[in-house]
Amino acid sequence: MGSIALEQAQPSFKTPWVQTPLVESASLSRAAGCRIFLKLENVQPSGSFKSRAMGNQILSHLIKPENANRSVHFYASSGGNAGLAAVCAARSLGYPCTVVVPVSTKPLMVQKLRTAGASDVIQHGETFSEAGEYMREFIMKNKDDNESENVAKIALHPFDNEPIWEGNSTIIDELAAQLPAPVGEDEEATHNGRPLPVDAIICSVGGGGLLNGLVMGIERHRQLQKMSLCYASSAVSHSQSNPINLLAIETLGTDSLATAVAQKSLVSLSKITSQATSLGAVRVSERTFQYATSPPPGIAVHSAVLSDADAARGVLRLADDERLLVELACGVCVEAAVGDALTARSSTSSDSLTSGSKKRKRVQTDYPAHRDEGYGDDRSSATGNETESEEGSEFQSKLKQLVPDLNSDSRVVIVVCGGSNITIDMAAEWRKMLDEGWGN
């Protein structure tokens, strides 16, 4: 199972990522009021979904005829999860990878890059843009004394190219096989026309590579569905009124997608002010903006922006309830599903879904233990325009606000994107800050 690019890859190259488990969380399901499934990308070799993205990008270069029988050296200018994934993937395939990062990169990440086997970790410049320019204009053009004359030097982008998105799209391939099949007339009617039986998928957005991959994967499975002899024409129209919802989550201060959507233009943030630096792309890819403002048929894209404190609450929920330690960039998705985001802003591309809210029979499913990132323009303030819960005393989660017709049997997948810029001490500090009123 893999992306289109992988189907063309030479058999001598192994896949530098693993197929990850899908598990249903009882505690998060109770809190969210629907069935919450966790796609555990935190168990990838690099600790995040970036193993798929950077791994497939590397494979796309290795299978090119011009790189056959040549020494290859990869270069990455991301000191975060993309850089770490590039090093892990390149090393697993037997190739060197040098990483150039800003001087502000934390010692924790520099050490992780070195420990993972980076050929070199070079710190230069104040920003990743400056580090990247230095990498391309100086490091890659400077010949090492021990370097072959025939070496192919290849720069890797952290989120913005087709092979990256194709790598991330393999998450959908796995979900199609791992999600429980609909049981009974109600569930079959609910998921009729959908290429996989899921109501919503929640993911983080930095530059948009993960969101792009999820959309591409759903589209690929929809095309396979259309080619099936059993595909009925009635399912096509049903899928338009009953789409798969993609929730694109950002933290305030990294909200480049939500800002672009609100301004109806692919604009850039002036700077990153959130602690969730893994989401720190000041500008999303053009493809991400296109998907957000004009999603393909059968897909509804929603945006939500939560605070760093909300993201920290999500991190602690996963640590306490699921024994998983992830970055703020990942925790924010959990809080979007179950929390009361009092300071969140949101926008959505579609009207509220009108499908029925009948109870559906739940099926017990066995999951594999281990197998192998259109809107309106109204990002309203939660303190003025949010909808209150049934109890009337708390605000609903962003999930329930954006997809209001979910019920206890609805299926929602959270992509647990993982991340390596996290320690137990950091989580403990966030808990202390929350106890002292952070975010209230």
Residues 107 and 317: their CA atoms lie apart, in Å, by: 27
Q: Which amino acid belongs to residue 434?
A: L
**84, 4, 212, 365: CA torsion to nearest 10:** -90
Burial class of residue 432, CB neighbours in 10 A (0-12, 13-18, 19+): exposed
Question: pLDDT tens digits, residue range 113-146?
Answer: 999 999 999 999 887 778 889 999 999 988 776 6
Vertex 419: Cα angle to 102 and 414 (nearest 5): 140
Residues 227 and 56: their CA atoms lie apart, in Å, by: 26
The tokens for 360 are 């559906």
Name residue 98's beta-bridge partners. 75, 120
pLDDT at 128: 76
- Whether the full predicted model's pTM is greater than 0.95, yes or no, is no
Residues 165 and 436: their CA atoms lie apart, in Å, by: 41
Mean pLDDT, residues 171-177: 97
Is residue 244 within a helix (H) or strand (E), and if so which, with residue range? strand 244-251
Q: Name the band, by pLDDT with cuts 50, 70 and 90, for residue 353.
A: very low
Burial class of residue 344, CB neighbours in 10 A (0-12, 13-18, 19+): buried
Sheet-wide strand order for 72-76: 120-123, 97-101, 72-76, 152-156
Nearest to 203 by CA among 252, 150, 246, 148: 246
Is residue 311 within a helix (H) or strand (E), and if so which, with residue range? helix 308-317
Q: Name the band, by pLDDT with cuts 50, 70 and 90, for residue 186.
A: confident
Ordered structural domains, the chain, with CATH: 22-48+161-228+241-342+398-436 (3.40.50.1100), 50-156 (3.40.50.1100)
- Neighbouring C-beta atoms of residue 170, cutoff 10 Å: 27
Nearest to 246 by CA among 279, 217, 223: 217
C-beta separation of 373 from 162 below 8 A: no
Residues 119 and 103: their CA atoms lie apart, in Å, by: 18
- For the ranges 156-170, 366-380, 418-432, the lowest mean pLDDT is seen at 366-380
Question: pLDDT tens digits, residue range 32-90?
Answer: 999 999 999 999 999 999 999 999 999 999 999 999 888 999 999 887 899 999 999 99
- Neighbouring C-beta atoms of residue 436, cutoff 10 Å: 8
The tokens for 178 are 């791992």
Place of tokens 């993972």: 116
Place of tokens 């809107």: 375
Q: How far, CA to CA in Å, does 393 sit from each of 343, 399, 435?
A: 16, 18, 21
The tokens for 108 are 């924790």
C-beta separation of 400 from 33 below 8 A: yes
Is residue 414 within a helix (H) or strand (E), and if so which, with residue range? strand 411-416
Tell me which DSSP letter residue 197 carries.
S
